[in-house]
Amino acid sequence: MMEAKDDFPISKEIVYMNTAAISLKPIKVIDSMIDFMRKHEVSGTYNFNDNIEEEVLENARIRVAELIGCEKEDIALTTNTSEGINFIANATKFSRGDNVVTTDLEFPSVTYPWLRVAKENGVEVRFASNKNGIVTLEDLEKLTDDKTKVIALSHVEYSSGIRYNLREVADLAHRHGALLVVDAVQSLGVVPLNVRREDVDALASAAYKWLLGPFGAGFVYMRKEFYENVEPLFVGWRSSREHEYDPRKISYPKDARKFEYGGMPYTSIYGLTKAIEYVKDIGVENIESYVMKITEKLMEKLNDLGAQILTPYDREKRAGIVTVRFDKMDYDRAVEELAKEKIIVSKRMNALRISPHIYNTEEEIEKIVQSIRRMIENY
Ligand SMILES: Cc1ncc(COP(=O)(O)O)c(C=O)c1O
């Protein structure tokens, strides 16, 4: 969107298409964080107290709850996605012989927490095998049975960019009495997601990709039935209901806040709130249709160049990531050569991963296609 470029000054100097790694940040979100630090972080308790602390955290929970369609009580704030998935994995109650179903396409943060708890609990972690970056519902169905406790997967895969229909996976999980635990860091901000409608049981994300927020802030959603019946692995002064500071007993907050245990990255969490407000002002639906439009154009033009496109073309089956292969391309070199032209992308899954956002334009799509064309003509 041409008009978004003013909010991301660096996007006028470079063609940044690496949102799936780290997004550009709206300058006003960064400015608001600097103001917050100057006001509240430099002067100890003179300008920071329990009320301000609670307000910062509460505002973030409210914004996150609005974004994903749940109650603020269902949200625990975290520093990143991995922390959220660990919270859920460590609180899940297993019996020997249970299993967790996931895929071999996943980012490590989605599978490691389950591998870690599986070892202690005699649980098997089952990996659906991808075919050229695609895992289907049938692949998950084949591995799921009545011993399945959890299906763990990303809403949008970081590698091939495929998007699952969460409602279908939730139905599969629930038919077997299992939970669906979702990593939404590659989808929130670029595709609408409602945890109630999709019937998701737990969901973790961070701010620094499609939500256009800072490092150090994330969150985890969990169903009431989940947080009511479990104990968090980590505990600390914030694990007590009214900050009672009675060292002899723990009285957990009654909601998902029981997972927040200590001092928080307040400035980052403030930035998360501001980033969600920025995204909501534009509208997630508007972001989605814009990103779909430019990525569709990108896929068509790359297809004309003879690319093997791993990401499905169907809008329902992808989000903002486009992953492509070319005959004989050295992807490390391609990433470097594009960077020399100030075009920023990544190599993933032995392929080029291109992930634009609202700070990109159709002219930039044209530009990256021309650069790739020149590169492959020179092989
Ligand atoms: C699917 C997925 N999950 C998690 C992360 C990052 O995890 P964290 O928020 O813990 O840094 C990434 C980053 O690439 C990712 O692609």
CATH of the domain at 335: 3.90.1150.10
Residue 223: strand, helix, or coil: coil
What are phi and psi for residue 180, nearest 5 degrees? -100, 120
Q: Are 105 and 215 members of one domain?
A: yes
**Per-residue pLDDT tens digits for 251-297:** 999 999 999 999 999 999 999 999 999 999 999 999 999 999 999 99
> Does 170 map to a domain?
yes
Which of 185, 188, 203, 348 to mutate to test ligand 1, by most ligand atoms within 8 A of the CB atom?
Answer: 185
21 Cα: distance to centroid of ligand 1 (angstroms) = 8
Q: How far apart are the first and last CA of the chain?
A: 33
> Does 22 map to a domain?
no
Average of per-residue pLDDT across 156-181: 98
**Residue nearest atom 14 in ligand 1 by C-alpha distance:** 21
Residue 219: strand, helix, or coil: strand
* Residue type at position 266: Y
Q: Are 79 and 108 members of one domain?
A: yes
pTM for this entry: 0.97
Q: Are 256 and 365 members of one domain?
A: no
pLDDT on residue 242: 75
Which of 79, 102, 109 to mutate to test ligand 1, by most ligand atoms within 8 A of the CB atom?
Answer: 109
Q: Are 50 and 177 members of one domain?
A: yes
Number of helices (H) and strands (E) in the chain: give both, helices first.
12, 13
218 Cα: distance to centroid of ligand 1 (angstroms) = 11
Nearest of 360, 282, 336, 371 to residue 12 by alpha carbon: 360
249 Cα: distance to centroid of ligand 1 (angstroms) = 35
Q: Which residues contact 222 (CB under 8 A, 6 or more apart)?
A: 74, 76, 88, 201, 202, 256
CA atoms within 13 A on the CB side of 23: 32
Q: How confident is the model at residue 379 (pLDDT cuts 50, 70, 90)?
A: confident
Q: Are 147 and 239 members of one domain?
A: yes
Domain boundary among 236, 255, 281: 281
Share of the chain above pLDDT 70, in %: 100
Average of per-residue pLDDT across 33-62: 95
Q: Are 189 and 276 members of one domain?
A: yes
Q: Are 171 and 289 members of one domain?
A: no
Q: How confident is the model at residue 101 (pLDDT cuts 50, 70, 90)?
A: very high
> Does 24 map to a domain?
no
Q: Are 321 and 310 members of one domain?
A: yes
**Residue nearest atom 16 in ligand 1 by C-alpha distance:** 158
Between CA 325 and CA 296 the distance in angstroms is 16
Pocket of ligand 1 (CB under 6 A): 80-82, 107, 109-110, 154, 158, 183, 185-186, 206, 218
- Which structural domain range is residue 369 located in? 2-17+284-377
**Per-residue pLDDT tens digits for 102-124:** 999 999 999 999 999 999 999 99
107 Cα: distance to centroid of ligand 1 (angstroms) = 7
pLDDT on residue 244: 76
Q: Are 180 and 240 members of one domain?
A: yes
As a whole number, the mean pLDDT across the chain is 96
Between CA 317 and CA 212 the distance in angstroms is 22
How many structural domains is the chain composed of? Answer: 2
Q: Are 320 and 254 members of one domain?
A: no
